[in-house]
A and B are shown apart, each in its own frame.
Chain A
């Protein structure tokens, strides 16, 4: 079945430095969309990025990700993190012919001063 693997647990980064959160997936489907969701403390998850185009960079709120179907990856990156980026991040591939998503276990990003 479909599965997604994210950088697990906690990632701690000093403010102003870059970060990459890994996401790799296995899917039987070719025509799928990929998502990154962000969840701030005591809030609901919300969409950060969405992409369905191979090798195209997608950006939002200073974060970017490029879908690479050849390596089954959709890593999330930011060149200079801020304290306000501290949150739980989920990677989630879709499924062709279905609308539901498969969420990874999530990665907590903690940005320290």
Chain B
């Protein structure tokens, strides 16, 4: 089965520090997504990409940057981490289906910013 993996799985960071979350997919999908999940808010889209070299802003991009250096890899970067960015982050790849991707999620990264 095709897979989406994320690293690290758990991360503790300090306020003001830089955090990079990595995602790798072997689905050969063009589309990749970064979400954060918070109780009461569900899954919210941060950034997404339609292919290597491209990134697009999602619904809540402030405080985050994204990088897609290759088909397989998509990173989420927090240049100056803040406690409000404490959350669970999910990466997903999408199959480019008409009218909306079927998305395949990674296992998630738990980020705690102190």
- Residues of A whose CB lies within 8 Å of any CB of B are 29, 31-35, 43-47, 50, 52, 90, 92-96, 98-101, 103-106
Contacts and interface: CB of A to CB of B under 8 A. Distances in A.
A31 B97 CA distance: 12
B101 A94 contact: yes
Interface string B92-114: 00101111111111111000000
Contact of A99 (B31, B40, B58): B31
Contacts of A43: 107
Nearest to A32: B99
A32 B100 contact: yes
28 contacts: A29-B99, A31-B98, A31-B99, A33-B99, A34-B100, A35-B102, A43-B107, A44-B108, A46-B104, A50-B97, A52-B98, A52-B100, A90-B43, A93-B100, A94-B101, A96-B99, A98-B100, A99-B31, A99-B94, A99-B96, A99-B101, A100-B31, A100-B101, A101-B100, A103-B44, A105-B40, A106-B42, A106-B43
A44 B98 contact: no
B64 interface: no
A104 B42 CA distance: 6
Nearest to B95: A99
Contacts of A90: 42-43
Given A44-B90, A45-B43, A45-B90, A101 B101 contact: yes
Contacts of B105: 44-46
B45 interface: yes
B74 interface: no
B97 A33 contact: yes
Given A99-B31, A103-B43, A47 B102 contact: yes
A90 B35 CA distance: 14
A29 B98 CA distance: 12
B42 A33 contact: no
A47 B98 CA distance: 16
B53 to A, nearest CB: 17
- For B94, B99, B107, which residue has the most chain A Cβ atoms within 10 angstroms? B99
A98 B100 CA distance: 7
